[in-house]
Amino acid sequence: MSASALPVVLEGTGPLSAVIEDRGSEIADALGTAGGVLLRGYTVASVEAFRGFAAGFGHPLLSYEFGSTPRSKVEGGVYSSTEYPAHREIPLHNEQSYTRDWPLRIWFHCVTAAPEGGATPLADSRAIHRGLDPALRDRFAQRGLRYVRNFGNGLDLPWSKVFNTEDRGAVEAYCRDHAIDFTWKEDGELRTSQLCQAVARHPRTGEDVWFNQAHLFHVSALDAVEREVLLDTVGEDELPRNVYFGDGSPIPDEELDAVRAVLAAETVTFPWQAGDVLMLDNMLIMHGREPYAGPRKVVVAMAEAHGTTRAA
């Protein structure tokens, strides 16, 4: 299926609650092929109605744990989309692909569409995998990725926000359960390091997908001025986030520039309309956010936990 066919648009009228029964097979088919479905024209009475729709696919909604960006809980299992400055772009990514555990399903509901900008770019993770230079792709796949995070100190989210607790013991238990190395620093802040995948295999389709956030976590994601200031101020070891090959060796900037070029080539974008509901297979489809002006409200729900921690 061509990138231009993403997402599959299913238009209709009536309450969103009836869609699963009326068009469930169409949704399932579209998710298995294109990886994304946009439901447009249906009545979404409230955020609670959206929550009920997402939960209606038979899996409990997931909480947002070990997050990399701030979100606010709206309803049980429903969160605000990433709370990031409106004038800045959120690059393409698969949700929580910087960890070893992630949701297979993700839903977005547009409550308020921005009057200017705010569209959601999408890209097929299978096409990204195919489009990369095979030698580069294999190097990442074989070596894996090590994400290093330094929380707090005004540079990144505090660890209490990321782990939803003030209890150090609970943080340590979470880290041990999820194969995350951790260090408490002298100032009371936390550093974590986790070895993760660069490429993953979809559990249903068996297809290989490019599945990581190296292009977001790497220091080369910063603009030149911000990068220089941070490195001069705190040094590489104390950057709020960075990523290396699995053995700790540096990833050359140009290799991630090559990844970003493929992402750009595979990007498709659709503008939101109020009431829209977008459902994605999180392993097959990447998503992001364009800058915007004016009011914008998009909420998100996730389900079907999957990952590699238990296999470690």
- Please tell me the class of the 128-260 domain: alpha beta
With tokens 């990514």, the residue in question is: 93
State which amino acid sits at residue 149: R
CATH code given to domain 3-127+268-305: 3.60.130.10
Q: Give tens-digit pLDDT for 13-28.
A: 999 999 999 999 999 9
**pLDDT tens, position by position, 256-268:** 999 999 999 999 9
Average pLDDT taken over every residue of the chain: 92
Instruction: List where CATH 3.60.130.10 sits in the chain.
Output: 3-127+268-305, 128-260
**Which residues are within 8 A (CB) of 211 and not within 5 positions of it... i.e. 6 or more apart?**
94, 97, 125, 197, 198, 199, 200, 283
- What is the DSSP code string of 255-272? HHHHHHHHHHHH-EEE--
Indicate whether 77 pLDDT > 50.
yes
**Residue 4 pLDDT grade (very low, low, confident, very high; cuts 50, 70, 90):** low
Distances (CA, A) of 211 to 16, 158, 178: 31, 26, 18
Closest CA relative to residue 20, chosen from 62, 63, 49, 61: 49
Using one digit for the tens of pLDDT, what is the confidence trace for 201-215?
999 999 999 999 999
**What's the pTM value of the predicted model, to 2 decimals?**
0.92
Assess whether the previous peptide bond of 7 is cis (omega < 30° from 0): yes
- Among 55, 43, 47, 48, which residue's Cα sits nearest to residue 18? 43
Check residue 90 and give its pLDDT.
93
